[in-house]
Structure 1
Amino acid sequence: MTPPTFAPRTGAGRLPADVYVLAVISFFVAVGFGVVIPVLPVFARSFGVGQVETGFVVSAFAVMRLVTSPFTGRMIGRAGERTVLAVGILIVAASSAAMGAAQSYEQLLLFRAAGGIGSSMFTVSAMTLLIRSVPDSHRGRATGTFQTGFLIGNMAGPALGGLLAAVSIRAPFYFYAATLVAAALVGLLRLRGPRPTTDPDGAPGTARSDSRPFRQILADSRYQAALVCNFANGWSSLGIRSSLTPVLVVEVLHRDPVWTGLAIAVASVVQTVALRPAGRFVDRVGRRPAMIAGSIIAAVAMLAVAFVPDIWTLILVLCVNALAVSLMGTAPAATVGDIAGPRSGTPVAVFSMASDTGQILGPVLAGVIADRAGIPFAYVTATLLMGLAALASVRMPRRTPTAPPKETVR
């Protein structure tokens, strides 16, 4: 079967309204998530458990996301993206409210794990809807816009969580539930679903229907590269960076933990600013160059983090890595959309599982390596995986999308 080609841009060159609605929804989800994360370990410890049990509470969410993702694609096929998205968000809302009312560690663990089911439903349905809502030549910008909502929410959430925790350790969980209900309402009221696109001549057309069997998608070198990139990104940027950088700052650079938050916050700002330009690069220059460049830059940055001499160099290196992550966050997702076509629930679910697996395995295995061989060797694992992602991206066919007219770029 001939691989799907890049679709032409719509006449006006604007992103569909659903993309911005999804960005708003992602902001609500992320700000609530950011509110809860700083207080969750403290709340778990209040039940008299140790660090291992606390770790189970933190990881249960991601584990359930991973376990339930394969079934989400089927749900989307039967109920539609908008319904699955709203139900998934409401499940996480109920989970968060129940966590706030938990009276034992066992209840907290159970409710936290249940939230991962809803999170899987939201993540896969939102990405599937995003893919279906835009033609191929808009997909990089659409993904960047969607992820910008997450990043802004992630930056605002922890600070707000600290203020709410001063009122009550349970207050952030109820606030998270409220933001999720708001996100679900926005989805139900404002999302309209994929609409007709236009053909090359500008005449109204129908949404693409060239869906491919998943076994063919899985055999596609582009999809394989997207999976490797997402796994490597989950392992390094979302896993190792979050678990080892705080230790690096305190034990190697001998700085107060507050510097960890500052370094990551500055890098997050850089990534947020870079997402839209990265999306344009992905749409104009191509997925393959973006994935190769992002993988190589991230590989070098992750290795450099392990050997930084001071906190200011660390901040600089993390900012460079943020530029790579902006490419790694947009190009692989756009690639999946190019390959999968409109019925992309299962391919998107497997793609999401790749990142979740990296986030789960990365901190654990890197922690073992750090304990036995030292922190630098733990960061080397991220460098090796990013190198593997670059090699997988090189195997992709050389295909360049048609550049859109400059005056239509928004």
Structure 2
Amino acid sequence: MTTPVKPLTAARPRLPAAVWALVCAVFVSSAGAGAIAPVLTERTAELARTAAVPGVVSAYFLARLVCTPIAGRLVTAGLTRRLLPAGLLLTALSTAGAGLAGDYWQLLGLRVVGGVGSTLFTVSAVALLVAAAPPRLRGRAFGVWSVGFEAGTVVGPMVGTGLFTLARSAPFTVTGLCLGLTAAALLFLPRRDGADDGETGGVAVRMRKVLAHRAYRAALLSNFAVGWGAYGIQVSLVPLFVLARFADGSALASVALTAFAVGNAVVLPVAGRLTDSWGRRPAALLGIALFGAGLGGIGLSGDPVTLVAAAVVTGVGCGVIGPAHGAAVADVLGPDARGGSALASFQLAADVGAVAGPVIAGVAAQAWSFPAAFLLTALVPAVAFVAWLRAPETLPAPARTG
């Protein structure tokens, strides 16, 4: 009598250790930025005056915009693994120094250094994420990366506020220490077998060749739309609109922003798997459609329930887009290509959108009305939607699952 042999089942694919290490790093980085955000305004006012706060914030983002193309070239040159801890170390030193700055100009200079460090870290981390994640797991990799980032933005401000009650410089010192320890840990970032991380070989990809790919151009447009709507309009125009339209607008604005964050956070884990099963293009189309509809709905909302519902839809759409267009860019480049400039341009698209969106929509709101400004904003993802309709699917056929 023979014992029946159990059929062998394929092991469920898992994300490589390097992906989880990068997720932890982006969580610490995001939490650090969130920890000092509530107290940076007061710190600036101590050294100068409240009117000087926008200058400190603008200097940080201007440094990011200027440094992003440079970081891309350095990644293409094969310096990815060196840039990763170096960028985080610059951020750590500048953050700790901000708590000890003796005057406004020192603080301003340190924030510029922090912007440079943040850019070096982000561009190199995304490049390593592309190299580490297998094609069939790229959507999930970008999904958990986004979860790590969003979790940091939630945890950071709470921790920073608590530390500030202990000592005024504590948020800066503790954040700098945590970032420094994370930078040291990244020196030992594991490599995925068979993958090139841009240090030892690979082919440098020319930007002209990448731009010729319709999926990459669609990803640029959708990331620009996310920067415009999620990073720009959500934190600038939405609060102003709610204050002008509704009674008790201050509290309702906070509820709307929270609803956006909840919708985003809830869908992110599912969005990564959706991207790896449906494909990049269908997921991107779904996400960009929800995102645009939600933004338009916010501007047309006439009661709190509609406003909150539209904010949730916007957050869900944003959460679906992220893994889809990130994975598409990774597919276009491939794991062994040194595509630093392409990755930097992808990131830069969101940064430019975040800067341009509030300015252009703000002018539209003053010239016409808030609903007109939000409808104008909804046109940006509409353009990206058309671009994705024309884009090919980039998920390799053998990687698709049911």
- Indicate if the aligned counterparts of 1:19 and 1:142 stay in contact, CA closer than 8 A: yes
The one-letter code matched in structure 2 to 1:381 is L
Q: Map Cα deviations across residues 325-367 of structure 1 (whole Å, 9 max, x no partner).
A: 1122111111111111221212101111111111122222222
Partner of 2:240: 247
1:253-292 equivalent positions in 2, closer than 5 A: 253-255=246-248, 257-292=250-285
- Indicate if the aligned counterparts of 1:243 and 1:363 stay in contact, CA closer than 8 A: yes
CA distance in 2, matches of 1:99, 1:371: 36
Partner of 1:84: 83
Partner of 1:33: 33
The one-letter code matched in structure 1 to 2:185 is V
CA distance in 2, matches of 1:69, 1:111: 18
The one-letter code matched in structure 2 to 1:352 is Q
- Indicate if the aligned counterparts of 2:85 and 2:186 stay in contact, CA closer than 8 A: yes
- Indicate if the aligned counterparts of 2:277 and 2:401 stay in contact, CA closer than 8 A: no
User: Structure 1 vs Structure 2: percent identity of aligned residues?
Assistant: 34
- Indicate if the aligned counterparts of 2:276 and 2:401 stay in contact, CA closer than 8 A: no
Q: Map Cα deviations across residues 370-389 of structure 1 (whole Å, 9 max, x no partner).
A: 23323222222320100011
CA, structure 1 residues 77+40, in 2 after alignment: closer, same or farther (shift >3 Å)? same
1:234 aligns with one of 227, 236, 251: 227
CA distance in 2, matches of 1:303, 1:100: 41
The one-letter code matched in structure 1 to 2:342 is P
Partner of 1:156: 155
CA distance in 1, matches of 2:401, 2:160: 44
How far apart are 1:167 and its partner, in Å? 3.3
1:193 aligns with one of 168, 191, 206: 191
Question: TM-score, structure 1 length as denominator?
Answer: 0.88
CA distance in 2, matches of 1:261, 1:187: 36
Q: Indicate yes or no: 2:302 matched with 1:313.
A: no
- Indicate if the aligned counterparts of 1:82 and 1:193 stay in contact, CA closer than 8 A: no
For structure 1, which segment, 127-136 or 370-379, has the greater mean C-alpha deviation from structure 2 after superposition?
A: 370-379
For structure 1, which segment, 373-382 or 140-149, has the greater mean C-alpha deviation from structure 2 after superposition?
A: 373-382
Q: Map Cα deviations across residues 32-65 of structure 1 (whole Å, 9 max, x no partner).
A: 11111222223223334353x3222112222211
SS at match of 2:47: coil
Partner of 1:201: none
How far apart are 1:23 and its partner, in Å? 1.0
CA, structure 1 residues 174+378, in 2 after alignment: closer, same or farther (shift >3 Å)? farther
Partner of 2:7: none
The one-letter code matched in structure 1 to 2:165 is A
The one-letter code matched in structure 1 to 2:46 is S
1:346 aligns with one of 321, 341, 349: 341
How far apart are 1:247 and its partner, in Å? 1.7
Q: Indicate yes or no: 2:119 matched with 1:120.
A: yes
How far apart are 1:153 and its partner, in Å? 1.0
Question: TM-score, structure 2 length as denominator?
Answer: 0.89
Partner of 1:167: 166
The one-letter code matched in structure 2 to 1:25 is A
CA distance in 1, matches of 2:132, 2:55: 37
CA distance in 2, matches of 1:258, 1:101: 34
Partner of 1:355: 350
The one-letter code matched in structure 1 to 2:92 is A
1:135-146 equivalent positions in 2, closer than 5 A: 135-146=134-145
Q: Indicate yes or no: 2:60 matched with 1:61.
A: yes
CA distance in 2, matches of 1:126, 1:69: 13
- Indicate if the aligned counterparts of 1:211 and 1:340 stay in contact, CA closer than 8 A: no
For structure 1, which segment, 71-80 or 84-93, has the greater mean C-alpha deviation from structure 2 after superposition?
A: 71-80
- Indicate if the aligned counterparts of 1:140 and 1:334 stay in contact, CA closer than 8 A: yes
CA distance in 2, matches of 1:49, 1:210: 50
CA, structure 1 residues 297+395, in 2 after alignment: closer, same or farther (shift >3 Å)? same
Partner of 1:105: 104
CA distance in 2, matches of 1:182, 1:311: 44
1:374 aligns with one of 366, 369, 373: 369
For structure 1, which segment, 228-237 or 244-253, has the greater mean C-alpha deviation from structure 2 after superposition?
A: 244-253
Partner of 2:22: 22
CA distance in 2, matches of 1:107, 1:307: 45
Unaligned runs of 5+ in 2: 1-9
What is the Cα-based RMSD across aligned positions, in Å?
2.3
How far apart are 1:405 and its partner, in Å? 5.5
Partner of 1:365: 360
CA, structure 1 residues 296+96, in 2 after alignment: closer, same or farther (shift >3 Å)? same
SS at match of 1:13: coil
How far apart are 1:228 and its partner, in Å? 0.6
CA distance in 2, matches of 1:280, 1:338: 16
CA distance in 2, matches of 1:234, 1:45: 28
CA, structure 1 residues 21+292, in 2 after alignment: closer, same or farther (shift >3 Å)? same
CA distance in 1, matches of 2:257, 2:34: 13
